[in-house]
Protein backbone atom coordinates (compact mmCIF):
# COMPACT_ATOMS: atom_id res chain seq x y z
CA UNK A 1 0.00 0.00 0.00
CA UNK A 2 1.27 3.49 -0.83
CA UNK A 3 1.28 6.19 1.83
CA UNK A 4 1.43 9.46 -0.04
CA UNK A 5 2.16 12.35 2.31
CA UNK A 6 1.56 14.97 -0.35
CA UNK A 7 -2.15 14.33 -0.18
CA UNK A 8 -4.09 12.70 2.58
CA UNK A 9 -3.76 9.18 1.25
CA UNK A 10 -1.16 8.27 3.86
CA UNK A 11 -3.62 9.20 6.60
CA UNK A 12 -6.60 7.49 5.08
CA UNK A 13 -4.83 4.17 4.62
CA UNK A 14 -8.12 2.82 3.31
CA UNK A 15 -8.15 -0.95 3.24
CA UNK A 16 -9.45 -2.64 0.08
CA UNK A 17 -10.82 -5.57 2.10
CA UNK A 18 -12.66 -5.71 5.39
CA UNK A 19 -10.01 -8.03 6.83
CA UNK A 20 -7.35 -5.33 6.66
CA UNK A 21 -8.18 -4.12 10.15
CA UNK A 22 -4.64 -3.02 11.03
CA UNK A 23 -4.70 -0.36 8.33
CA UNK A 24 -8.06 0.92 9.57
CA UNK A 25 -6.65 1.20 13.08
CA UNK A 26 -3.59 3.10 11.86
CA UNK A 27 -5.78 5.42 9.83
CA UNK A 28 -8.10 6.14 12.74
CA UNK A 29 -5.26 6.78 15.18
CA UNK A 30 -3.37 8.99 12.71
CA UNK A 31 -6.50 11.08 12.14
CA UNK A 32 -6.90 11.63 15.89
CA UNK A 33 -3.24 12.60 16.21
CA UNK A 34 -3.80 15.59 14.00
CA UNK A 35 -5.65 17.39 16.77
CA UNK A 36 -4.63 15.71 20.02
CA UNK A 37 -1.56 14.38 21.74
CA UNK A 38 -1.25 10.62 21.95
CA UNK A 39 -1.59 10.72 25.74
CA UNK A 40 -5.04 12.28 25.34
CA UNK A 41 -6.26 9.51 23.03
CA UNK A 42 -7.76 6.34 24.48
CA UNK A 43 -8.05 2.91 22.92
CA UNK A 44 -11.81 3.51 22.85
CA UNK A 45 -11.22 6.71 20.85
CA UNK A 46 -9.03 4.85 18.38
CA UNK A 47 -11.56 2.05 18.00
CA UNK A 48 -14.38 4.52 17.37
CA UNK A 49 -12.34 6.53 14.85
CA UNK A 50 -11.28 3.32 13.09
CA UNK A 51 -14.73 1.77 12.99
CA UNK A 52 -13.53 -1.35 14.79
CA UNK A 53 -13.95 -2.83 18.27
CA UNK A 54 -11.56 -2.24 21.17
CA UNK A 55 -10.85 -5.96 21.05
CA UNK A 56 -9.66 -5.61 17.47
CA UNK A 57 -7.27 -2.84 18.47
CA UNK A 58 -5.81 -4.99 21.25
CA UNK A 59 -5.60 -7.97 18.90
CA UNK A 60 -3.16 -6.12 16.65
CA UNK A 61 -1.44 -3.94 19.24
CA UNK A 62 -0.46 -4.90 22.77
CA UNK A 63 -0.26 -1.26 23.83
CA UNK A 64 -0.89 2.27 22.66
CA UNK A 65 2.84 2.85 22.42
CA UNK A 66 3.21 -0.05 20.00
CA UNK A 67 0.55 1.56 17.81
CA UNK A 68 2.28 4.94 18.04
CA UNK A 69 5.57 3.43 16.88
CA UNK A 70 3.84 1.81 13.91
CA UNK A 71 2.33 5.16 12.91
CA UNK A 72 5.70 6.87 13.29
CA UNK A 73 7.46 4.22 11.19
CA UNK A 74 4.97 4.51 8.34
CA UNK A 75 5.01 8.30 8.42
CA UNK A 76 8.80 8.57 8.45
CA UNK A 77 9.31 5.84 5.84
CA UNK A 78 6.88 7.59 3.53
CA UNK A 79 8.60 10.95 4.00
CA UNK A 80 11.93 9.33 3.13
CA UNK A 81 10.52 7.60 0.06
CA UNK A 82 9.04 10.86 -1.20
CA UNK A 83 12.37 12.66 -0.75
CA UNK A 84 14.36 9.99 -2.57
CA UNK A 85 11.85 9.83 -5.42
CA UNK A 86 12.21 13.59 -5.88
CA UNK A 87 16.00 13.92 -5.68
CA UNK A 88 16.65 10.89 -7.89
CA UNK A 89 14.18 11.86 -10.61
CA UNK A 90 16.36 12.32 -13.70
CA UNK A 91 13.48 13.94 -15.57
CA UNK A 92 13.12 16.71 -13.02
CA UNK A 93 15.21 19.81 -12.31
CA UNK A 94 16.72 18.94 -8.94
CA UNK A 95 19.37 21.65 -8.97
CA UNK A 96 20.56 23.15 -5.69
CA UNK A 97 18.04 26.05 -5.57
CA UNK A 98 15.17 23.67 -6.28
CA UNK A 99 16.45 21.14 -3.75
CA UNK A 100 16.47 23.78 -1.00
CA UNK A 101 13.06 25.11 -2.01
CA UNK A 102 11.61 21.60 -2.20
CA UNK A 103 12.93 20.62 1.22
CA UNK A 104 11.52 23.70 2.94
CA UNK A 105 8.16 23.83 1.19
CA UNK A 106 7.69 20.07 1.32
CA UNK A 107 7.86 20.12 5.10
CA UNK A 108 5.10 22.72 5.22
CA UNK A 109 2.90 21.17 2.52
CA UNK A 110 3.01 17.84 4.33
CA UNK A 111 -0.54 16.82 5.26
CA UNK A 112 0.94 15.07 8.30
CA UNK A 113 2.67 18.12 9.79
CA UNK A 114 0.40 18.21 12.85
CA UNK A 115 1.12 14.53 13.40
CA UNK A 116 4.84 15.21 13.07
CA UNK A 117 4.63 17.88 15.74
CA UNK A 118 2.72 15.60 18.11
CA UNK A 119 5.26 12.82 17.59
CA UNK A 120 8.06 15.26 18.39
CA UNK A 121 6.30 16.53 21.50
CA UNK A 122 5.74 12.98 22.75
CA UNK A 123 9.41 12.20 22.17
CA UNK A 124 10.51 15.32 24.05
CA UNK A 125 8.10 14.51 26.89
CA UNK A 126 10.00 11.32 27.66
CA UNK A 127 9.00 8.64 25.17
CA UNK A 128 12.49 7.24 24.73
CA UNK A 129 11.81 4.62 22.02
CA UNK A 130 10.02 7.26 19.94
CA UNK A 131 12.85 9.75 20.51
CA UNK A 132 15.35 7.19 19.22
CA UNK A 133 13.20 6.51 16.15
CA UNK A 134 12.99 10.20 15.32
CA UNK A 135 16.70 10.81 15.87
CA UNK A 136 17.55 7.84 13.66
CA UNK A 137 15.40 9.28 10.89
CA UNK A 138 16.91 12.75 11.39
CA UNK A 139 20.30 11.14 10.87
CA UNK A 140 19.06 9.47 7.68
CA UNK A 141 17.65 12.71 6.28
CA UNK A 142 20.82 14.55 7.28
CA UNK A 143 22.98 12.10 5.34
CA UNK A 144 20.76 12.36 2.26
CA UNK A 145 20.72 16.15 2.25
CA UNK A 146 24.45 16.37 2.95
CA UNK A 147 25.21 14.03 0.05
CA UNK A 148 22.86 15.75 -2.40
CA UNK A 149 24.11 19.23 -1.48
CA UNK A 150 27.75 18.19 -1.85
CA UNK A 151 26.97 16.65 -5.24
CA UNK A 152 25.49 19.93 -6.40
CA UNK A 153 28.20 22.14 -4.90
CA UNK A 154 31.50 20.50 -4.09
CA UNK A 155 32.76 23.47 -2.08
CA UNK A 156 29.79 23.42 0.30
CA UNK A 157 29.90 21.94 3.78
CA UNK A 158 27.15 19.43 3.12
CA UNK A 159 26.80 18.36 6.74
CA UNK A 160 26.36 21.91 8.02
CA UNK A 161 23.82 22.88 5.37
CA UNK A 162 21.91 19.64 5.83
CA UNK A 163 21.42 20.40 9.53
CA UNK A 164 20.53 23.98 8.66
CA UNK A 165 17.78 22.77 6.34
CA UNK A 166 16.41 20.29 8.88
CA UNK A 167 16.27 22.86 11.67
CA UNK A 168 14.66 25.41 9.36
CA UNK A 169 12.00 22.88 8.39
CA UNK A 170 11.12 22.30 12.04
CA UNK A 171 11.16 26.01 12.87
CA UNK A 172 8.97 26.97 9.92
CA UNK A 173 6.57 24.17 10.77
CA UNK A 174 6.07 25.56 14.27
CA UNK A 175 5.59 29.12 12.99
CA UNK A 176 3.01 27.97 10.46
CA UNK A 177 1.07 25.88 12.95
CA UNK A 178 1.05 28.91 15.29
CA UNK A 179 -0.33 31.03 12.42
CA UNK A 180 2.41 33.61 12.92
CA UNK A 181 1.26 36.39 10.59
CA UNK A 182 4.44 38.37 11.27
CA UNK A 183 6.43 35.88 9.19
CA UNK A 184 5.83 35.71 5.45
CA UNK A 185 6.93 32.11 5.05
CA UNK A 186 6.96 31.91 1.21
CA UNK A 187 9.09 35.08 1.02
CA UNK A 188 11.34 33.82 3.79
CA UNK A 189 11.91 30.55 1.93
CA UNK A 190 12.78 32.40 -1.26
CA UNK A 191 15.27 34.54 0.67
CA UNK A 192 16.86 31.42 2.14
CA UNK A 193 17.14 29.91 -1.33
CA UNK A 194 18.65 33.11 -2.74
CA UNK A 195 21.17 33.45 0.09
CA UNK A 196 22.10 29.79 -0.03
CA UNK A 197 22.65 29.65 -3.76
CA UNK A 198 24.53 32.97 -3.80
CA UNK A 199 27.25 31.52 -1.59
CA UNK A 200 30.21 29.98 -3.35
For residue 83, give the CATH number of its domain.
1.10.357.10
- Bigger pLDDT: 35 vs 191: 191
In a domain, 3, yes or no: no
Domain assignment of residue 4, yes or no = no
Number of domains, the chain? 1
pTM: 0.76
Assigned domain for 28 exists: yes
Task: Using the predicted structure, report yes or no on whether residue 2 has a pLDDT greater than 50.
Answer: no
36 within some domain: yes
Quick one: DSSP state of residue 16? S
| Residue 82 counted as domain residue | yes
Does residue 66 form part of some domain? yes
Q: How far apart are CA 178 and CA 143, in angstroms?
A: 29
Residue 2 lies in a domain: no
Average pLDDT over residues 155-169: 93
> What pLDDT digit, counting tens, does each position of 32-90 carry?
887 787 788 899 999 999 999 999 999 999 888 889 888 888 888 888 898 899 888 88
Enclosing domain of residue 51: 9-198
Amino acid sequence: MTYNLQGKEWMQMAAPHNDNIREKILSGAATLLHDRSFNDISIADIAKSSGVSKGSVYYYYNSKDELLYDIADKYLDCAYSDLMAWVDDENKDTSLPRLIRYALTRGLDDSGKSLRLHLTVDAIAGNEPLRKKLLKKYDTFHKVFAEKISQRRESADGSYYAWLILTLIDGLLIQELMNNSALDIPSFIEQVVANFTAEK
